[in-house]
Amino acid sequence: MSLVEIGLIAVGLAMDAFAVSITLGLSTKWPKLREIIIPGVYFGFFQFLMPMVGYFAGIYFANKIEDLDHWIAFALLGFIGGKMIKDSFSKRREGDVDKNSFGFIKMLVLAVATSIDALAVGVTFAFLKVDIYTAALMTGIITCFIAMIGVIIGSIFGMRFKSKAEFMGGAVLVAIGIKIVMEHVFF
């Protein structure tokens, strides 16, 4: 598998992290450097780690996870998306920022939920005898930068459409969870 093919796979894997990063950006008026970097680090690290785990765990582990991975991702994304939708209806003053948006637990849950597909890709890499270190590193770095761009894009739209944007961000997370389930159940 060529570096271009690995790069394209990495970009594909990063799209869920990108969408979630946009929703995180919606909760910031002007994101500080820390608020831009945190999602990149979390999502990038887990998109690096999960293919490695999948690669080394092999077929045995993948068969156990394959039946549940989509439900786990759906539950995690649905919970956080539902909370965002609920929060969009709460009365907040203009300029208020959800201080918990970049908290450890929330970021950990989002990073795990958006990287479960990378676990299966790691198993595929094992079958194709791909250099896992190069593939995982590329995936992590690409995801890191794409997630940081997502936060910036989200903050631009969030300043203009705060509560509507938060509602839409939550709906996007729920939709991503539903998409993951649909892909595994029907296709």
pLDDT, position 84:
67
- Domain interval for residue 106: 3-186
Task: Give the C-alpha distances (Å, rounded to integers) separating 63 from 120, 124, 133.
Answer: 9, 12, 23
Q: How far apart are CA 89 and CA 64, in angstroms?
A: 39
Closest CA relative to residue 4, chosen from 156, 130, 99: 130
Tens-level pLDDT at each residue, the chain (187 residues): 789 888 888 888 888 888 889 888 887 778 889 999 999 999 999 999 999 998 888 656 656 666 776 777 677 667 767 776 787 777 554 444 455 577 888 899 889 988 887 887 887 787 777 899 999 999 999 999 999 999 999 888 766 665 666 677 677 768 877 887 788 777 6
Three-class SS of residue 80? helix
pLDDT, position 41:
96
State the total domains in the chain. Answer: 1
Residue with tokens 């790069």: 7
Name the CA radius of gyration of the chain, rounded.
Answer: 17
pLDDT, position 46:
96
pLDDT, position 86:
80
Q: How far apart are CA 47 and CA 52, in angstroms?
A: 9
